[in-house]
Structures are given as structure tokens and as C-alpha cells.
Amino acid sequence: MKLGPFSFDAPVFLAPMAGVTDTAYRIIAHDMGCPLCYAEMVSSQGIHFRNEHTLVMLQSEKGERPLAMQIFAATPEMAAEAAAYVEALGTADILDFNMGCPAPKVVKNGEGSALMRDPERATAILTAIRKAVKMPFTVKMRIGWDAEHINVVELAERAEAAGVDAIAVHGRTREQFYAGHADWSKIADVRRAVSIPVIANGDVRTYDDLDHIREATGCEAVMIGRAAQGNPWLFRQLTHYLRTGERLPGPTMQERAAVIVRHLDLLLKYKGDYVGPREMRKHATWYTRGIVHGAILRDRFNKATTRDDFLAILREFFDYHE
């Protein structure tokens, strides 16, 4: 798959996830072989008002490039201003626009997946962004608002006409949030309707899922979200599989422990001694999902407040030593 000046021979991308795909996790995913990571969505309003937290979210490191930065907005003017700011900042290589977030606090402002109900405004926003930036520009959307309003093909055609370079489609409606099953057939409809690359998203967790979604949709690329939480090894496995056909084994317990420590150290670096360990709690429970003593581990991790606390848990349950 090609996107602007970038070419991806094993296009398995990390989806943008609020509170998850920050710099720390993106670096880990990139090191595991993910060729393109999408950053967590950033508010155009926050950019407009130069909100300190928002500006921190726009930062990146050389070790995670190329990087796609995602913005969300309710109006063409705000979207264009934010897009131009991101391009001028130079911390990302690709700009993405969010038309898929189902969160009520986003939707009530006419942002995210609310735009699936307003094709004219969505088109105006995409057109304004395209005029505002020269960098590669993608959009992420759902298949519709609900089962009675599946309009992703119309929105995709409008996006292509507006000059968008690629479209990522999550095969669920806004009403579904993350429940039920992704409808890959609707993604296939988009693939047939447009000539720009389409990135398939939804329910890819295994080698077989990767085979099936590529066969079912015909898409050039796949985007992985929740299945990558606590499992960055999935990128190493799937990209290697696409290149060689070989199915690599999952991580050992020692590998899990080592990555937990690396992730924690990155969070300490970027978010400090107080926030870092507390944000690491959810990641640590994801990293150890499905293993023996999982419930006890979750309880212990959720009480950890320092690096030493995490190391003590890993020594006890993983026999891990730095």
C-alpha cells in the first residue's frame, strides 16, 4: 500500500485509541514492527485555544515515525485550522480526521461519528482540510449511525472526491459502539466504490482473522485497535506472516515482563512519577490478560504506585529480574 511518499509492504496499522496510543505505546508498537501508528485523537478546539494538554499530545519521537496524527472537529473552519497547525508543527507525517468516535461527549458536539448523519457538513470539513494541508490525509469512519442508516459508501465517495488519500472503515455502526461483530461486507462495498486505498478495521485478532478480512474486503491494509491492547507482539506476528507466511509464536512470560517494564519506563519518562504508574495499571492488566493468577495480578497492579511496586509484582509472578 502507498500513502503519499510512504510505501508499506506489510500494512498492519495501529488504530487510534484515546488513552492508549500515546507516545509510549506507539514506540513499543513501532519497535514490534508496526509500520504506521495512529495517535490518539486530538481536539481541534484544544489546538485552537493552545490547551497545554492538547499540545503535549501532538508531540512525537523520531523512533515512531512515520506517524499519523488524528484530529476531530465539528466545523470546516476549526478542522482546517487544526490541520494546518499539525502540518506546520512537523511532528507527524500523515493527518487523519476522525468520523468514527462513538463517545457521547464527542457526538453531542457534532463531532466523531455524528458526522455520519450529516454528509454535507462532513464533506465540507474534508474539503477544507484538503485545502489547508499538503501532507497525506486520511479519514476514519464507521459504516453508519445505526443499522437503518448505513451510508458509508456515500461518505467514502464524498471523501475521495474531497481529495482524501485513504479511508479507514470500522465495520460497526455508532449504535454498536464496540459490541457485536464488525460487518466486513460493508467495508468490501467501500473498497469496490472508491479507487483510493481502504484500510479495514474491526475484529482482527489472529492470523486467520487477517486472512479472512483481506479476502472478504479486498482491502490493501488492516488496522488493529483493541486486539493490540497489551499485545504489541501482534504486529510482529502479522507483519512477519504477510512477508513470509510463517506464524510466529506468542511472547514468553519473560518477554511480557520485559515489555511491561519498558512500557512503564516510557510512561515515567513522558508522564512523570505520579501519572506514569497509574496509567500503567490498565496496560499491565492487558499485558497479563488470560494468564494464570490473572485476577490476583490485576488486583496487585491496580494498587501499584511506583516502579518498584511493579518490579516486585513481576519478580513474584514472573521471576523477572532486570
Structure confidence by residue, pLDDT tens digits, 240-249: 999 999 999 9
Please provide the average confidence, as pLDDT, over all residues in the chain. Answer: 97
Question: How does residue 322 score in pLDDT terms, banded at 50, 70 and 90?
Answer: confident
Contact, 277 vs 306, CB < 8 A? Answer: yes
* 21/64 Cα distance (integer angstroms): 11
319 pLDDT more than 90? no
Question: How does residue 295 score in pLDDT terms, banded at 50, 70 and 90?
Answer: confident
90 pLDDT more than 80? yes
State the helix-helix crossing angle for 119-132 and 152-162, rounded to 10 degrees.
30
Give buried/exposed letters for 156-185 (b at 16+ CB in 10 A, else e). Answer: bbbbbebebbbbbbbbbbbbbeeeeebbbe
Provide the percentage of residues in the chain whose pLDDT is more than 90: 95
Q: pLDDT value at position 63?
A: 85
321 pLDDT more than 90? no
Question: How does residue 294 score in pLDDT terms, banded at 50, 70 and 90?
Answer: confident
Side-chain half-sphere CA neighbours of 238 within 13 A:
29
95 pLDDT more than 90? yes
* 246/100 Cα distance (integer angstroms): 33
* 199/220 Cα distance (integer angstroms): 6
Structure confidence by residue, pLDDT tens digits, 167-190: 999 999 999 999 999 999 999 999
- DSSP code for 194: -
Q: pLDDT value at position 76?
A: 98
Contact, 226 vs 20, CB < 8 A? Answer: no
Question: How does residue 291 score in pLDDT terms, banded at 50, 70 and 90?
Answer: confident
Span 258-274, average pLDDT: 97
27 pLDDT more than 90? yes
Q: 197 or 291: which carries more pLDDT confidence?
A: 197
Is 219 one of the catalytic residues?
no
* 13/225 Cα distance (integer angstroms): 9
Structure confidence by residue, pLDDT tens digits, 302-317: 999 999 999 999 999 9
Q: pLDDT value at position 60?
A: 97
- Which grid coordinates are listed for 26? 506507539
290 pLDDT more than 90? no
Burial of residue 298 (CB within 10 Å: 0-12, 13-18, 19+) is middle
Q: pLDDT value at position 19?
A: 94
Structure confidence by residue, pLDDT tens digits, 206-231: 999 999 999 999 998 999 999 999 99
Contact, 92 vs 67, CB < 8 A? Answer: yes
C-alpha distances (whole Å) from 99 to each of 34, 197, 211, 281 are 23, 17, 27, 29
Q: pLDDT value at position 293?
A: 80
C-alpha distances (whole Å) from 82 to each of 39, 52, 189, 268 are 15, 15, 31, 29
254 pLDDT more than 80? yes
